[in-house]
Structures are given as structure tokens and as C-alpha cells.
Structure 1
Amino acid sequence: MLKPSIGLSLEGLPFIFFTAMATLTFALLDCWFMATVLLVALFFVLNFFRDPERVVPQEPGVAVSPADGKVIKVETMRDPMTGEDRTAVCVFMNVFNVHVNRMPVTGRIARISYFGGKFLNASFDKASTDNERNSLLIEDGDGRSWTMVQIAGLIARRIICWSEEGDSLGRGQRFGLIKFGSRVDLYLPAEYEPTVRIGDKVFAGQSILARKK
């Protein structure tokens, strides 16, 4: 399902409205301390749910990052959807990153699997297998499979996926978000190799994460 872009994620509007109304109420009551605190909170809520446009690379044979954040892992891991050992690139999103997730490649969502787990720090190794997560198996135009996993963390406890099984989406297209950050893992097909290293900062839909060999 396509999501309209207004510069903010629609899922953030209730938080924004509530915080703005509370700020206005305290200001009208001359409770300036609370009004100031809530105004600062409103700034952070607006920052959390921002959804800027991105320039998606048109180069063939590349995959873009599914999330904003920092690369915390580039290693061989067991793909939860195929059961194969694959190279995985893991991107950690903190609370200051954009939380909207985007498609790494053009393809069809063949399968979606949700697991309600724990809420460990998303940077921990066990987060991949123990935390609440939502896995998407993507089939690209050449028949290759990609697995993308949205992982909830210590603060982020709400995974949202707008797309459904059978949807066809383009590279860089929005498909979901994780409220207040967390982590997204991307498992690469054998024909692709990562172009990033641990510590690299990446942007969803814009930074090239992998390239065809």
C-alpha cells in the first residue's frame, strides 16, 4: 500500500496533535514551565516522525539501505526466511534517525512473517533471534530472493508494515516504520556483495548498501 508523504509520517500525527494541544493548554493557563517542557517534547516528536524525500539511485545492480542509521554488522548470518547462511548488513537506528523504512530493491513481497518477542537492546546479537520482529521475503525481477527484517528494540516497541504479501514495490519506496528507531537487517543474495563497512552512516532509499558482483 502506498503511503502519502507530507514530510511527516502519518503514524506520528496523533503524538504531534496531543503534544501540541497539551502545550497550548498549559500556555493558556500560564503554566509556562510545563508549556516549555512540552514544547521541547513537541520538537522531538516532530523530529522522530519526519519523513524527508530521498533521491533514489537509478544505477542497475545495486541495493539501497532500508533504514537510516549506522551499520553495526556485516557478516554471515542465518536467513530467517530461507534458512540459508547469507551475508547480512545490519543498520541500527537511534531515536534521532528517520524511522521510515524503504525497499532496498524493486521486487514483490512474497512472504511476511511476524514474531512477537522480547525488547532487548537492538544492537545486541540476540536481538536478531529474540526480539519482536517482522520479516519480509522479497523476490526481485531476476528471481533472486532478499530478506529484510524489522527489529524492535529497547525503546522502539511498535513495528509497522504498510505492505502486504503480493505487493510490488520499487527501490526506495516506503514500506513501513519502527516507532522511535531500532534496527533493520538485510540479507543479500549470493550474487551481491556489501559496499559498506561497520560504522558507516547510511540513509534509507539513498545510500547504496550492496552491489552485484
Structure 2
Amino acid sequence: MKRDVKIEMKDIKWPEKAGFIIAAPGFKYIGIAGVIAALAMGLGGAVSGGIGLGLFAFVCWFFRDPERTIPPQSNALVSPADGKVISIETIENSTVVSGSCIRVCIFMNVFNVHVNRVPMGGKVEKVTYFPGKFFNASLDKASEHNERNALVIKTPQGAVYGVVQIAGLIARRIVCHIKPGDRLERGKRYGMIRFGSRLDLHLPLNTNIAVTLGQKVSAGSSIVGYLGREHEK
């Protein structure tokens, strides 16, 4: 069966600081939008040129990659995405981590920053691709039925959690440059989903959740919760 979603696991390394304030995976799309804008201005009238410039400006804005201030608390889990918290629930038999967990779902609309960041540092234990459908990412069934890419990360204190990039109705390009064995730092860039979608966190049951339903969060700077102290050595 033909796959419409493309999981890009190229060696795309985001810099410590965004040199152009534009995410690297957006360069191609910005170039295409620039060509369209130039053709619209050269071959069309003022209206066509204005539409072309508007498209170019939107694509540049969509792929923005602002710097974020990472919270200093050692046991704080930061949001992996900009967006709105649409679900907080305890689930059994997680398909990402073993056993029960707390799942926090964050929905990104087309106006959010789409660069994804590491919730908490640690070693990547597993990277798993799940084929699936393309339901609206705001629906509950998207967590289990949509195409998605999951990381399982073990922190230095021994806690294990999962973070899942989920494709949506429109967003069908997931970018992830992480491999098993990689060591990640909290708040660092690790991928993105193009044109709106969702990220889920699968967290240990003793996580102290710090967000509420409907709350807007920012990747890398908003604290989603705190890992239980019993994980610390």
C-alpha cells in the first residue's frame, strides 16, 4: 500500500542557536514559495504578485525557529511542542512504553511553531515508526491510529518516557534525526512536523503533571510536569 506520510530521518542537525531563525527542513519549501512569488510578480498582475508574496511570507513564518529559555529544574519535563494541551489521562498497556503511563497530548495548529524539542535529557532506547491513517490530530483516536514516530528515552536517573510525533489530516511530513543510542539534552531541537499536527508524551505514573486541559504551552520552555524523586539516585 502506498504511504502518503514521509518519515524523514536524515542527518539534520539543528544548531545550538538558530542561525537564520528558520528551521532547516523549511529551506526547500521557502525556495519553492520564493519561485512561485517571483513568477506571480513577473507574469501576473498586482493581485497575483501580492498573493505570491503573501504565500512566501507565510511559509517563512511557518518555519520560524525561535530560541527558548530552558527551565533550570533538574526533574522538569518541558513541552516537546508549541500548542494546546487537549488530553491528560492515565492509560494501560501503552504501545510506546511498557505498562501503564500518563499520556499528555499537545495539539499544534498551523499557526504554532513546529520545531519539536526534547522533553528531558537521556539516552534514546528505541525509535519506532507506526504506519497508520490520517485522522484529524485533535481526535482521541489519532494517538493509536494515525501514522506516527515514537522515541523512548531513559533519563540518567532511570526514568523511562516516550514522546510521539503524530501525523494529522494535513500534516504528512514528520522530520526526526534521532537514532537509538543517541544522547539528548533537554530542550534541544530534534525534529518537526510540517503543517500542523500533534505530539503525545507517555510519562511514568509518578510524574507530577503541571499543566491543565486547554493550556497553551511552548516547546522547550513550558514545564509539563516533574518526574518523581524516586527515580533520582
Q: What interval of TM-score do these two structures reach, taking the shorter chain for normalisation?
A: over 0.9
1:83: Cα distance to partner? 3.6
Equivalent residue in structure 1 for 2:14, among 3, 26, 51: 3
**Structure 1 equivalent of residue 63 of structure 2:** 49
Identity percentage of aligned residues: 45
**Structure 1 stretch 199-208 or stretch 189-198: which is displaced more?**
189-198
Q: Is 2:91 the counterpart of 1:77?
A: yes
* Correspondence list, 1:1-213, <5 A: 2-4=13-15, 5=18, 6-78=20-92, 79-213=94-228
C-alpha change, 1:199 and 1:30, in structure 2 (3 Å) is: same
Amino acid at match of 1:65: S
What is the TM-score with the length of structure 2 in the denominator?
A: 0.88
Q: Contact between 1:98 and 1:181, CA under 8 Å: does it hold in 2? A: no
Amino acid at match of 2:26: G
Instruction: Name the SS for the 1:146 alignment partner.
Output: strand
1:181: Cα distance to partner? 1.7
State the Cα deviation string for residues 22-52 of structure 1 (Å, max 9, x = none): 2122223352222111111112111211110
Q: Contact between 1:113 and 1:136, CA under 8 Å: does it hold in 2? A: yes
What is the TM-score with the length of structure 1 in the denominator?
A: 0.95
> What is the RMSD computed on CA atoms of the aligned residues?
1.3
Q: Distance in 1 between matches of 2:157 and 2:210?
A: 21
Runs of 4+ in structure 1 off by over 3 angstroms are: none
State the Cα deviation string for residues 52-110 of structure 1 (Å, max 9, x = none): 01000111211000000000001112422234121111100000001111000011111
Aligned residues: 213
Q: Contact between 2:204 and 2:227, CA under 8 Å: does it hold in 1? A: no
Q: Distance in 2 between matches of 1:190 and 1:85?
A: 7
Amino acid at match of 1:45: V
Q: Contact between 1:107 and 1:140, CA under 8 Å: does it hold in 2? A: yes
1:122: Cα distance to partner? 0.5
